[in-house]
Amino acid sequence: MDARFSGPCAETRKEAVLPTGTDRVRRKPLARFLALAGFAMALASCQMFTPPDVQESGFQPSNKPITVDNVAANSKLAEMAKAQHPRILATYGGEYSDPKLERMVAKVVGSLTVVSANPTQTYRITILNSPNVNAFALPGGYLYITRGLLALANDSAELAAVIAHEMGHVTANHGLQRQQLEAEEGFATKVVSDVLGDSPTAKAALIRGKLRLAQFSRNQELEADGIGIKSIGEAGFDPFAAGRFLQSMSAYTDFRSISGATDASLDFLATHPNTPQRIDLAQRHARQFGAPGVGTRDRDAFLAGIDGLLYGDTPEEGYVRGETFLHPGLGVSFSVPDGFIIDNSAAAVTATGPGDIAIRFDGVSIDKSRSLTDYIRSGWVAGLDESSVRQETINGNEAATAHASAEGWQFDIAVIRAGGQVYRLLTAAPSASTSLDAVARSVSGSFRILSATEKAALKPLHIRVVTVRPGQTMGSLAAQMVGVDRKLDLFRVLNAMSPGAAVSAGDKVKIITDK
């Protein structure tokens, strides 16, 4: 969560938390409660669905792709993409700068460009400073890949497969085709406006929706798969890398789906269901180049490039450490119960857990002389039970709590004043749930001010590549990781190792550490 939430933007985010006024008629409270974290992200990602009736024929790249260097061919489309670049950077945390990483990625792109359908076309690839596992393309040859995706990949061939897939969208003019679907785009814009109103997150979502950041149809995804696998095979990379990375993303999805976490929309990969059918299709494309083992993986060069890569949240957004959120800039912390997944974004911190219970944490600026009970009663909470409003003290901090209910949902509201700022912890549960009070009290009761020592001790996490020494096992290597839970499971996911796999002396593996 961005520490800079004071001023008018904070009020906008505030009004988007619980339904008020006519909102109660138009939308479900929980959907609106989680909209900032879930629905907008669903509009942002390259769709990876596999249609039930797969058609492999007719997947040919356009011989007149819209690229950065031929703006005159379609000035409106390419200029629109160019204009959105700064906004995309703002939406995804800016550009991630690491010269050796950029050189490694550029080398892969160069290899693919040489064998592409139009080797003279220009691409601009940007590494985004986001922990989300994401890649997408805009008309005009603008390609984007997140550091979160780079952390999940394990060799240059897998990275090439991702980039070639996005290049396939460009060379096949998928962006142009999507721009022509005005009716669908207009519908998406209306949905985003209805759900998110005029918030900054809504504006970001509209940017994504308008440019169709990977909102491609199922057949277009398969077409991009076919083009991409053909490209990496011709470039000399292992063509089976595409299937491997699809499997890694599937494993990552399973890892994120902890028992009890029911809101898959909080994870980008919810829009990337990597079905066995699609993985099988990718492998069939790859077999056109030979049996498994053909082509190069270039693993050492890739691992050298990502060694030291920032992992997870940035200091400006605060850190998620297992079931605890800590923000060194704001100097505050809170924890969620076992079985909850925390999702940290610039607008707010959200968490979901068993029984469809959801939690949201954010901040708002209000006058220092205004009482917190008066603030709760000021009209921003729909269905407020006036008799439930209470003045309290939470870990030495002035606070107020209340309950509300609307459209089959019950809400607990805790507002806490600390360090000159007001923070809100909002918990939602189905009306029939008997767990709301226990969860809400556990979360609000965990809110506290961090000491100077604690703030100084918080450090960002990084990917580190280590060489396995004699006697080391997956378990002992995973135990070296810090700042994450379920260490062994995450170690296996990051290194694409099955539960029955083993490491050998001399192997290079990825671990997560704050050093």
| Residue whose pair of structure tokens reads 């709301």 in the numeric block | 436
* Confidence (pTM): 0.74
Least confident range from 119-123, 325-329, 361-365, 457-461: namely 119-123
Least confident range from 115-119, 411-415, 433-437: namely 115-119
Homologous superfamily assigned to 316-451: Mog1/PsbP, alpha/beta/alpha sandwich (3.40.1000.10)
Return the exposure string of 82-97: e unless at least 16 CB atoms fall within 10 Å of the residue's CB, then b. Answer: bebbeebeebbbbebe
Measured distance CA(59)–CA(300) in Å, rounded: 33
Measured distance CA(99)–CA(182) in Å, rounded: 40
What integer best gives the mean pLDDT of the chain? 78
pLDDT value at residue 93: 85
Measured distance CA(310)–CA(329) in Å, rounded: 18
Per-residue pLDDT tens digits for 249-272: 989 988 877 533 333 433 334 444
Measured distance CA(443)–CA(258) in Å, rounded: 19
| Residue 160 pLDDT level (bands cut at 50, 70, 90) | very high
Do 316-451 and 462-513 show the same overall fold?
no
CATH 3.10.350 fits 462-513, yes or no: yes
Measured distance CA(129)–CA(36) in Å, rounded: 19
Percent of the chain with pLDDT strictly greater than 90: 52
Measured distance CA(239)–CA(288) in Å, rounded: 9
Domain ranges of the chain: 68-310, 316-451, 462-513
The residue count of the chain comes to 515
Mean pLDDT of 239-243: 96
pLDDT higher than threshold 80 for residue 19: no
pLDDT value at residue 245: 95
pLDDT value at residue 92: 84
Percent of the chain with pLDDT strictly greater than 70: 71
Per-residue pLDDT tens digits for 435-446: 999 999 999 999
The number of C-alpha atoms within 13 Å of 450 and in the hemisphere containing its C-beta is 21
Strands 332-335 and 508-513, by their bridges, are unpaired
- The one-character DSSP state at 261 is -
pLDDT value at residue 255: 86
| Residue whose pair of structure tokens reads 């204009």 in the numeric block | 83
Give the contacts of 360 (CB within 8 A, at least 6 positions apart).
Answer: 17, 33, 34, 37, 348, 349, 350, 351, 424, 425, 426, 427, 428
- The one-character DSSP state at 296 is B
Least confident range from 171-185, 393-407, 443-457: namely 171-185
Q: Which of 342, 273, 345 shows the shortest CA–CA distance to 316?
A: 345
- Report residue 2 as tokens: 């961005």
Residue 460 neighbours by CB distance under 10 Å: 14
CA distances from 47 to 7, 86, 337, 435, 479 (A): 36, 23, 32, 35, 35
